[in-house]
Amino acid sequence: MTYSDKALIKEKVNSLLSKMTLNEKIGQLYQAPYFSDIVTGHSFDSSQTIKRIKGGMVGSILSVHDEDVIRKLQKTAVEESRLGIPLLFAFDVIHGYKTSFPINLALSNTWDETLVKKIAKAIAYETSHRGLHLTFSPMLDLVRDPRWGRVMESNGEDPYLSSILGKAYIEGYQQNDLSNSDSVAACAKHFIGYGHVEAGREYNTVDISKRVLYNMYLPQFKTAINANVSMIMTSFNTVFDVPATANKTLLKDILRDELKFKGVTISDYTSTEEIINHKIADDLKDVAKQCFNAGLDHEMVSESYIQHLNELVQEKTVSENDINESVKRMLSLKYELGLFDKPYAYLYENSNQYLLNESTVKLAREAAEKSIVMLKNDQILPISKDKKIVLCGPYVDSKDVIGEWAALCKKDDVTSIKEAFINSNYSNMNDETKDNVKNADIILMALGEPGSHAGEGNSKANIYLDKTQKEYFDSIRKINPNIVLIVFAGRPLIISHYHQYAKAILYAYQPGMETGNAIYNLVTGKVSPSAKLTMTLPYHEGQIPIYYNHYNTGRPYDEKRPKYRYNTRYIDCPNEPLYPFGYGLSYGNIKYLDFEIDKQIFKKYDKLSIKVTVENDNQYAVDEIVQCYIEAITYSVSRPVNELKSFKRVTFKPFEKKIIEFELSIEDFRAFNLNMEWTAEHRKYKVKVGPNSRDLISKKIEVVDEVS
C-alpha cells in the first residue's frame, strides 16, 4: 500500500468517524460469534448478532465460514445498518483451509521460510476465496513443554527461528496488498508468554522475568510488527501478575510506544471477562474499563465493551478520543482489505473450484516430505523394491493425521500410508500375518497419539504412546526386530523405549492430507529426509521443561565426572534429551570440515564472515540445514549456552563439498544486559556451526559494542 493510499484511507476513516455515534464506534470494537457451537462456556442466541449488526453494533464476526451466512450477515451490515459499515470475517486457518498442510510445529522442522511463505500464500488463496478476510495466525508462542497441547501450533523453542518463520507466514498471508483477493490479513498471537504455562497445563499461571520476556518472547512479535502484521491477539495468561488482556505495560508501553505497533489489538476468546476469574475485576463494567484503558481495541465474543463503554465515556473514566483511535485502527484495516468498495469481493460462485487444486496439494506433499524428521537410521532406510515388507500398526491406514485447528480440512482427504503403497503398486508388500512378519525384511510400523490429544484445551501429563501400542511394538519386535517406526503426534512424545529397539524412526507429527505419499517417498528414497527438530525431544518427562538455549548454572554437568554428586544432574536420568534442538538425519553422509571466521576482533559496524566447509560423502542427493550459533562466554547477566543466529538449508549432490558462508552483524550478539540495555557488551564470545545444537565446532572472538 503506497503512502498516498495511506493518506487517502486516513481521510476516509476520519470522514466516516465524524458521522458515527458513540454506540456505532463502540460497535466496531466488538467481534461477535454467530454459531453457538464454537462457544466455550457461554450460551447466546445468534439472532442477537443479527439485531446488533442492524444496529451497527458489530465490527467483526468470529469463525463463520459458511458462505451463505457470510453473505447474509454482510448484506445485513451493508444494507440494513445506518452507515453500512462492512463486517470483517475472521477464522483460525493456521495450517490449511481445505488443503491440509502439516501442523505448524512440523512445518517449523523444515527451517524453510521460503516454503512456509508459499504455504501461507496458498492458504490465503483458499481462505480469501471463501469469504474470509483475516486468519488468526501465525502463532508465535515459544514452547518448551510438550505437555502443553498447543505446541502443535508453534514454531518451536527458539526465538530467532520463530521470528523468521512468523515473518514468512505474515508475508505469505498478506502479500503486499490486503485488498487483492488472494491475500488475507494476519493476526500474530498470543501476546504474550502463553507457552510458558507452568507444568504445561493449559491456561495455567505464567511467571517470566522482564529479561526473559525481552530476550525470548518479544523478538518474534517485533519481527511480526516490522512485517506489518495487521492484528495482534492477547493471551489468556498473566504477565507480571496482570492478565495480558488488561495489561497496559504490554499493550501500551511495549506494543505501542516501544515496538510502534499501528495495527489492531484483539482479545482472545472471552479473555476480557476472564480477568474477573484472574481476580482483578469485579464485573463486566470494570472489565471494559480495565481492558480498554490498558489498550485493547477489539473484544472477542465477550460483551463488556458493547454493554459498558458508553456509560464509561459518559462517566469520563474512558475517553472518547481513545475510542476514536481504536475505531480508526479497525476501519483502516477494513479499508486496506477493500471491504468498503467491495464488501462481497471475497465471495465467489462455486468457490470449490479454488480449493484442493493440484499445485496446492503438491505443495502439501512437499511440505510433509520436508517436515518429517528422521531421528534414527541403522542402515535400514531407504527401502529397496526387492525388500519384503509388512505395513502394520494402528496408524498405518489411519487418516487421523491432520491435527487440530484444521479449519475445513477433512480426514477423508488424507492418503494414508497403506493407500500410498497400494497406489504405488508396491509389489513386495505383505499383510500382517505372523509368518509374513517373521519373514519380512522390513516391518514398517506406524504408531501415534490421536489428533484430538493436542491443540487448545488438550494438555497431557502422560506423554507416552499408550500402553497398547507399546505392547504391540514389543510383540512385533520379538518376532522381527527390523522395525522402521513412524510416529504421529501433535507434540514431542517420550519415545526412549522405541529409540532403543527400532532400527529407524521417522517423527512425522501430523503431516496432513499428503501423509501417505510423503512417507512413501521418504522411506523408498525418492526423497531424502531433511527436517530437523525445532523442539527438543526429552529422554524422560521428568526433564521437562528441557530446551537447548538453557543457562550453564553454577555447577554445570561434567561428563568427565558423570557420577559427581554436586553438579546439576538427576541421580536417575541423564541431563541430555533423547534428541536435541536442530537434530535430524538425511540419507547423506554429512561431514563438517574446515571452519573459519574473518576477524578476531569484531566491532559495532563490522560484518563477521563465517565459512564452513561441509561435505556430503555418499551417493544420495540431500538437503542439510547448516546452523550457526553464538555463545557469550561472559556477560553482565547469564546468557544461554547456545543461541541460534542463522541457518541455511543447503542442497548437496552426491559426493559434493561446499563452502557455506554466514554473515553476522553486531545485532546477532546483543541481548538485554543487567541494566536492560540492548547491547553486545565488550566481551569474548564463541561462534559455532554444526548440524544441530549439540554437535558444534566453535571459534572464539572478541566483540566491541558501545551501548546501543
CB 364 within 8 A of CB 512: yes
For residue 485, give the nearest of 542, 523, 533, 538 by alpha carbon.
523
| Rounded CA separation 423/162 (Å) | 37
Does a cis peptide bond (omega within 30 degrees of 0) precede residue 654? Answer: no
In angstroms, give the least distance from the CB of 268 to ligand GLC: 5
By CB under 6 A, the count of residues binding ligand GLC is: 7
Among 92, 268, 297, 623, the one annotated catalytic: 268
Residue 492 in 3-state DSSP?
A: coil
User: Is the Cβ of residue 287 or residue 417 nearer to ligand GLC in the bound state?
Assistant: 287
Residue 228, sorted as left (phi over 0), alpha (psi -120 to 50) or beta, turns out to be left
Indicate which single residue of 49, 63, 310, 524 sits in contact with ligand GLC (rule: CB under 6 A). 63
Rounded least distance, CB 461 to ligand GLC, Å: 21
Could you say which of 129, 130, 189, 569 contacts ligand GLC (CB under 6 A)? 189
| Residue 557 phi, psi (nearest 5) | -65, 140
The three-class DSSP label of residue 122 is helix
In the complex, least distance from residue 37 CB atom to ligand GLC, rounded to whole angstroms? 12
136 binds ligand GLC (CB under 6 A): yes
Minimum distance from residue 39 beta carbon to ligand GLC (Å): 10
**Cell numbers for 269:** 476468546
As measured in angstroms, the least distance from the Cβ of 269 to ligand GLC is 4
Residue 221 lies near ligand GLC (rule: CB under 6 A): no
Please tell me the total number of residues recorded for the chain in this structure.
708
25, 60, 81, 92: which one binds ligand GLC (CB under 6 A): 92
> What count of other Cβ atoms lies within 10 Å of the Cβ of residue 497?
13
Q: Which is nearer to ligand GLC, 243 or 691 (CB)?
A: 243
Nearer to ligand GLC, 413 or 456 (CB): 456
- Give the per-residue SS3 of 198-253: HHHCCCCCCCCCHHHHHHHHHHHHHHHHHCCCCEEEECCCEECCEEHHHCHHHHHH
| Nearest CB to ligand GLC, comparing residues 41 and 554 | 41
Pairing of strands 60-62, 30-32: parallel
- Closer to ligand GLC by CB, 189 or 460: give it: 189
Determine if 269 is a binding residue for ligand GLC (CB under 6 A).
yes
User: Least distance from C-beta 195 to ligand GLC, angstroms?
Assistant: 12
**Considering the rule CB under 6 A, would residue 148 count as an interface residue with ligand GLC?**
no
Nearest to 616 by CA among 660, 570, 646, 654: 654
Q: String of b and e for 95-127 (b: at least 16 CB within 10 Å)?
A: bbbbbbbbbbbbbbbbbbbebbbbbbbbbbbbb
Min dist CB 280 to ligand GLC, Å, is 20
310-313: long-range pairs with CB below 8 Å, 24+: 310/22, 310/23, 310/26, 311/285, 312/285, 312/288, 313/22
Taking the least distance from each CB to ligand GLC, the nearer of 171 and 274 is 274
Beta strands in 439-556 (DSSP E): 442-448, 483-488, 504-509
Residues 534-593 that bind ligand GLC (CB under 6 A): none
Q: Is 456 in the site for ligand GLC (CB under 6 A)?
A: yes
Q: How far apart are CA 301 and CA 281, in angstroms?
A: 18
Q: Determine how β-strand 608-616 pairs with β-strand 590-597.
A: antiparallel
* Chain residue at closest Cβ approach to ligand GLC: 136
Looking at beta carbons only, is 189 or 418 nearer to ligand GLC?
Answer: 189
Is 572 among the catalytic positions? no
Tell me if 272 contacts ligand GLC by CB under 6 A: no
Give the residue with the Cβ less far from ligand GLC, 247 or 515.
247
95 binds ligand GLC (CB under 6 A): no
Question: Minimum distance from CB of 103 to ligand GLC (Å)?
Answer: 14
Q: List residues near ligand GLC by CB under 6 A.
A: 63, 92, 136, 189, 268-269, 456
The catalytic site residues sit at 268
